[in-house]
Amino acid sequence: MKSSQVNVDEIMDCLGVSRFFHITQYLLLSSSLMVPVFNSYLFIFTALSPEHRCQNLTDFQLDQYNISISNVRLIYRNCSIEIISSDGRIPAKNESLACLNGYHYMKPVHMSLTSQWDLVCNRKGLAETSQTIYIFGQLFGGLASPYFIDRFGRKPPRILSNFLLVIINLICAFSPSYAVFASMRFFAGIFREAYLITTFAAIPELYSKKKRVLMSGLSTVLWSVWSTLGGAAAYLLKDYCWNVIYLFNATISGCFIIEVFFLAESIRWLFANSKVKQAKKVIKMAAKQNNVDFEHIWSIALKNNPVQEAANQRDGNNPDNRHRDLQVQADDAAVNHTEDHVKKDIATTDTSEQPSEKEMSKFIQVKAIFKTPYLRKITIAISICWMIDITSFTSLYFMVEALGGSVYFNFTMLAVAELVSSIFYSLGVNRFGHKISLIFSKTFTAILTFSAGLLMLLAENNKTTEKIFVTLYLVSMLGLSAAFSGIYIYTPELYPTQIRSIAFGIPITLSRTTCSVAPFFKLLTLYIPWASGFTMGSACLISAVLVWLFLPETKNKVLMQTVEDVQKMKAEEKTMKLFRTKRNT
* Distance (Å, whole) CA 127 – CA 178: 9
Which residues, other chains included, contact 173 with Cβ-Cβ below 8 Å and sequence gap of 6+? 243, 244, 246, 247, 250
pLDDT score for 512 = 79
d(CA 222, CA 156): 24
Distance CA 59, CA 66 (A): 10
Do 87 and 132 contact (CB within 8 A), yes or no?
A: no
- CATH, range 1-39+108-304: 1.20.1250.20
pLDDT of 585 reads: 64
Q: Is 55 exposed, middle or buried (0-12, 13-18, 19+ CB in 10 A)?
A: middle
The predicted pLDDT at position 577 comes to 65
DSSP 21-70: HHHHHHHHHHHTTHHHHHHHHTHHHHS----EEEPPPPHHHHHHTT--TT
Q: What pTM, to 2 d.p., does this model score?
A: 0.74
Mean pLDDT by 10 residues, the chain (585 residues): 65 84 90 90 89 88 79 84 69 70 89 91 89 90 83 90 94 94 94 89 83 77 86 91 94 88 88 85 89 84 53 45 42 44 39 40 68 84 91 89 83 87 78 86 92 85 82 89 83 79 78 85 85 90 91 75 70 67 67
* Angle CA 243–248–251, to nearest 5: 130
Strands of the sheet containing 96-97, edge to edge, are 72-76, 81-85, 96-97
Give me the CATH code for the 362-584 domain, please: 1.20.1250.20
Nearest to 273 by CA among 567, 570, 565, 6: 6
Name the H helices within 291-325: 294-301, 306-317
Distance separating the N- and C-terminal Cα atoms of the chain: 43
CB 226 within 8 A of CB 38: yes
Buried-state track 143-153, b at ≥16 Cβ within 10 A, e below 16: bebbebbbbeb
Q: Are 84 and 75 in contact, with CB atoms under 8 Å apart?
A: yes
Q: Look at residues 503, 509, 477 and name the one whose alpha carbon lies nearest to residue 490.
A: 503
Query: Which residue spans of the chain are classified as CATH 1.20.1250.20?
Result: 1-39+108-304, 362-584
Task: Give the pLDDT of residue 482.
Answer: 87
According to the model, what pLDDT value does residue 164 have? 94
Q: Which residues pair with 96 in a beta bridge?
A: 82
Name which of 561, 505, 565, 558 is nearest 149 in CA terms.
505
Backbone φ, ψ for residue 83 (5° rounding): -110, 110
With CA atoms as reference, report the closest residue to 186 among 243, 136, 144: 136
